[in-house]
Structure 1
């Protein structure tokens, strides 16, 4: 049943996302704050791992390691901050079944180079953009002031991370090709999230 709760949405639109997150997701996340927080700790860890994987895959790509190393460090710093708040609230990092979001998006990455590189940058960037949008919603609507403050702090970096992947793509590929491909991937990303996952997650 669609949510009837009214949330604050007087927020700037996130460029390149094809659709906003639903009120149903926001209601689910607010009603399960610690589960979403634990899941987000896993997301920060995975984001660092994804950037490291790109550095290893494209070991000799000029400028890539220099661009991604600070991102990896920042993702791990965020992981530590989220983990500290989880512990402060009496929980600890625990395994959670992942939603299909990341796996389904990764399947859209073309296997043949150089398209594989472009798709990898854009998929990583879209995940960062969606994280930014959802943290912004939580920072605005969560009744827990500690969570509001945490998400407000972290969401700024998520937007910057999207911008980094966007720059990496545009430095290496023709702009019209990049824009065409991100529009395709953004529609797929929005479609994946159009059906609410039964478990509360940052990307459910």
Structure 2
């Protein structure tokens, strides 16, 4: 039986995930896992897109090449778990989380780059938290172990995005902007989306 205690609060996030999301995810685990597959693919795509947007930023390209490769490795692993559980790959309607969060990205220049990095950091931080909750509460011991095994890399990912932002823009700029975006992120998740998703 899953423990009633919760993992530690994740840095950057303004509000922890609700018990309602945990209950929803565990009641619809196959669907959440299928969405997780899509999330890993989208995370790799995000890293690659940023490399296309900022090809002369050597530090960014090096860091995000590693992230993209790791996200694709996770994509493959999640798909193997889905096959093991007899879940066919298919499209899912996305939750509004990502599109709503990206509405806060400013449109031009350095502001846009900063916001893209910080939004990516927040998405990775929330993924880290929620995969950890699955690892903590999932009734299948092997699947729970798999989710716990992903946590270290997810932490590296949100740390890498934050470091790229802080290294280029400085803490005086990054800290208040991250605070504002983190507040928006928590408000987006304050109401549970009816479709079970990693970011519902």
TM-score bracket, normalised by the shorter chain, equals: over 0.9
Aligned partner of 1:54 in structure 2 is: 50
Aligned partner of 1:45 in structure 2 is: 41
Instruction: Decide whether aligned partners of structure 1 residues 66 and 33 sit closer, same or farther in structure 2, where only a CA change above 3 A counts.
Output: same
Deviation at 1:141, TM superposition (A): 0.7
Identify which of 111, 114, 119 aligns with 1:115. Answer: 111
Structure 1 stretches (4+) deviating beyond 3 angstroms? none
* 1:106 and 2:124 are equivalent in the alignment: no
Q: What does 1:1-204 correspond to in 2, within 5 Å?
A: 8-204=4-200
Deviation at 1:63, TM superposition (A): 1.8
Q: What CA distance in whole angstroms lies between the structure 2 residues aligned with 1:97 and 1:12?
A: 30
RMSD: 1.1
State the SS of the aligned residue for 1:143.
coil
Kept in 1: contact 2:7–2:136 (CA 8 A) = no
Q: What CA distance in whole angstroms lies between the structure 2 residues aligned with 1:14 and 1:185?
A: 15
Kept in 2: contact 1:7–1:23 (CA 8 A) = no
Please list every run of 5 or more consecutive structure 2 residues that lacks an aligned counterpart in the other structure.
none
Deviation at 1:12, TM superposition (A): 1.6
Across the two proteins, how many residue pairs are aligned to each other?
199
State the SS of the aligned residue for 1:114.
helix
Deviation at 1:7, TM superposition (A): 5.8
Deviation at 1:26, TM superposition (A): 0.4
Kept in 2: contact 1:9–1:137 (CA 8 A) = no
TM-score, structure 2 normalization? 0.97
Q: What CA distance in whole angstroms lies between the structure 2 residues aligned with 1:7 and 1:117?
A: 41
Q: What CA distance in whole angstroms lies between the structure 2 residues aligned with 1:111 and 1:185?
A: 15
Kept in 1: contact 2:24–2:196 (CA 8 A) = yes
Q: What CA distance in whole angstroms lies between the structure 2 residues aligned with 1:78 and 1:29?
A: 19
